[in-house]
Structure 1
Amino acid sequence: MQERTIMLIDGQSFYASVEKAAHPEHKDAPVAVAGDPSRRSGIILAACPIAKSRGVKTAESLGEALGKCPELVIIRPRMQNYIDVSLLISGIFGKYTDLVEPFSIDEQFLDVTGSIPYFGAPEEIAVQIQTRILLYTGVWSRVGIGSNKILAKMATDIWAKKSESGIFTLRKLDVERVLWPQPIQAMFGVGSRMTAHFHRMGIDTIGDLGRMPLADLKRRMRARMGRNSDIQAELFWQTANGIDPSPVKPSTHDAQQAVGHQMTLPRDYSEPREIDVVLLELSEEVCRRSRAKGYMGHVVAAGAQGADFSQPTGFFRQMTVPDPTNIAKEVYAAAKTLFYAHWDRLPVRKLGVTLSRLVPDDQYQLTLFGNREKERRLERMTDAIRNKFGTTAILRASSLLDAAQARERSVKIGGHYK
């Protein structure tokens, strides 16, 4: 069987690179994209290499970043623009292979095994792709190459991001010589908390983990983290040994399992009348997206997170509704039932509603009482108005209340301004 050639291509400081390309006057300046530049408490979403060289870090507060780099140029995020650039880059990948799998907005896997006879060696293809992306978008890309996705990912994260060429190949036969000497925290999937666990187990390098018998690793992790850690142990062991049988699948994200939406609230909500407004808006959004995709759901779920993030509390519960639905009124009724059955009456800062066990909405059950078809026609008409004139063209009166978030959410994508 022919060994595959997989690439993981990552856009360097993606949001910041897109903004620097759009603002050539900032070419030689330290630039950061921040969640809310009007507040020093806003979070740094991306920082260009110049800003990083002056100590600016992703996820730190704007105040901390400005303390390190007073001349930092702060730009408000434009999420729709980043999505558009990401799609443009996907189009470039499509010229080389049809096996492209998104990993995030700025990272995508490519299987170029069948492209080598047409475009040259893997490193040559990587240079061609880098050049095209830079020419079309102004974004510099780093390329990790391996025989599977996990090797390509670690080639990118550990080496390509630090090399001048931005390209690195990690071969399976080089795992012991090249990968194993790396510190355990460099391995994909190992965060700070897991690093501490591994250090306490005497595992300091990737090789320490990779050469350990799997049964021994499972035993040690069970002793430290409980009996349910076996699957996690096997995943870590396979990663350390460069094992990943999963193919690059363009359809990975196509099969819809659920439609959900959650919202971090601008302040603590503790009054039922305020919470109800947001639950209704969330139910409407979930149902609108379900109808757009042609789905109804058998199961409604509702969740909440407490206001104290240092000692997080909350819940996520679900219930099966009598008939599959994508009608906001029905989903809202179920979400309210779930919420008030499990809410501890403490202030909440995050709410969510999800519709799952999806089925096509071209066939549905008529009911003896009520008029579901009338409700469906009404909601389809509302969708048509919003699609044509914008999501705030028609709103419920409750969405004009102070607690409502629909108008604010309409100008954002993923919690950030478009």
Structure 2
Amino acid sequence: MDKPIRKIIHIDMDAFYASVEQRDNPLYRGKPIAVGGSPEGRGGVVATASYEARKFGVRSAMPSKRARELCPDLIFVRPRFDVYKEVSAQIRAIFHRYTDLIEPLSLDEAYLDVTVDKLGIGSAIEIAHAIRKAIREELQLTASAGVSVNKFVAKIASDLQKPDGFAFIGPSSIEAFMEKLAVEKFHGVGRVTAQKMKDRGIFTGADLKKLTEEELVRDFGKTGAFYYRIVRGLDDRPVQPHRETKSVGAEDTFQEDLSSLEEMAPELDRLSVIVRDRLQRHQLRGKTVTLKVKFSDFRLITRSFSLPVPTDDLELIQSTVRQLLRGVLEEPVKIRLLGVSLSNFGEPPPTVQLGLFFTED
């Protein structure tokens, strides 16, 4: 007997933290605001920007000083994690009216499997509209939704009409849709990989589809096999309600190779800020700090150090990865990628400190 076609919804709140702040404070409504660190001092980063701020080019994970340069009237708001967590629980309760197969990706984003729904509605489209309506009427917030037969396509669909958007990509239209999609719109294709594809004449899904799986693996490593499948709309990953976080990390590939500690240290500090804030978002502390380094010849190494107790302390993370980096720089090198991650988690911290919580919204 054939398996039923899955019905997957991806819900993504619109500028979640900024929208909550605008909802709760009338003075912020209609104005460009950024939730995150202040541009004064060291290490301030934008967690989420309102859509009014995005018109100026302000984006998540952008240094706050740069955001202020782009938008001189930008209002910086300190994050209220306890409030965002409470609102997230209210959103999750709305999801549970329809299904218990919910895979949260963060406080403001989740996959729902409604192949079989609690209320016997039978239509993923109808359920997605009902969820968006409930969020709007009960919480005075907006969410965008994508509906399809798998997680990958549903996630792309949710981003098509943001904010307050909806898109359905049915089974018969998936391949044609993916062929027209620009490579930078593929979830999992970053800025540097997209440029590498374009240098090879790959601009759309149709261009990507011309390459064999072997060619993609040769050019893009193990993710090449993933690209081969998703450009054909193939994704059999289940919605995982109890997915366990194994590690928390961040990495960046640089347009120009870095060759000195003076160039690399600020990048490591920035990545450490992102990792610390993701740890706090998931209420995690890690014992093992890992540095990832990719050299200009694409050689990849990792170096790890295990601390005596789990931590989410920013200064400790930064000093540890810097020490690991010094061991790599014993001879002249050129580095194109740096990454920082924590793993080997202990018990969640008893209290959650305010920090920056990065989202893709």
Q: What TM-score do you get using the length of structure 2 for normalisation?
A: 0.70
d(CA) in 2 for partners of 1:415, 1:178: 32
2:35·2:49 contact (CA, 8 Å) conserved in 1? yes
Superposed, 1:11-410 pairs within 5 Å as: 11-36=13-38, 38-39=40-41, 42-115=44-117, 118-119=120-121, 121-157=123-159, 159-161=160-162, 166-218=165-217, 222=218, 224=219, 229=221, 231-253=222-244, 301-303=288-290, 316-317=303-304, 328=309, 344=326, 354-355=343-344
Q: Bigger radius of gyration, 1 or 2?
A: 1
- Aligned mate of 1:412, from 348, 354, 359: 354
1:98 Cα deviation after fit: 0.6
Match of 1:405 in 2: none
Change (3 A) 1:21 1:176: same
Helix, strand or coil for the counterpart of 1:246? coil
Q: Structure 1: any 5+ residue segments left out of the alignment? A: 263-267, 269-281, 307-312, 320-325, 330-337, 362-382, 392-409
d(CA) in 2 for partners of 1:69, 1:214: 44
d(CA) in 2 for partners of 1:155, 1:353: 31
Helix, strand or coil for the counterpart of 2:112? strand
Q: Please, which moves more after superposition, 169-178 or 179-188?
A: 169-178
Q: How many residues were matched structurally? A: 304
Change (3 A) 1:168 1:342: closer
1:414 Cα deviation after fit: 6.0
Match of 1:370 in 2: none
1:34 Cα deviation after fit: 2.5
Q: What TM-score do you get using the length of structure 1 for normalisation?
A: 0.61
1:28 Cα deviation after fit: 2.0
1:16·1:32 contact (CA, 8 Å) conserved in 2? yes
1:10 is the counterpart of 2:1: no
Higher helix share: 1
1:193 Cα deviation after fit: 0.8
Q: Please, which moves more after superposition, 41-50 or 243-252?
A: 41-50
1:301 Cα deviation after fit: 3.8
Change (3 A) 1:216 1:116: farther
Aligned residue identity for 1:56? V
1:9·1:108 contact (CA, 8 Å) conserved in 2? yes
1:9·1:107 contact (CA, 8 Å) conserved in 2? yes
Give aligned-pair identity as a percent: 27
1:50 Cα deviation after fit: 1.7
Please list the CA deviations of residues 154-209 of structure 1 after superposition, one character each: whole Å capped at 9, or x if unmatched: 1112x1326xx611011232123222112111111111111122112221101211
1:21·1:137 contact (CA, 8 Å) conserved in 2? no
Q: Structure 2: any 5+ residue segments left out of the alignment? A: 251-261, 263-275, 294-299, 311-319, 330-338
Structure number with greater CO (CA < 8 Å, separation at least 6) is: 2
d(CA) in 2 for partners of 1:70, 1:204: 35
Match of 1:395 in 2: none
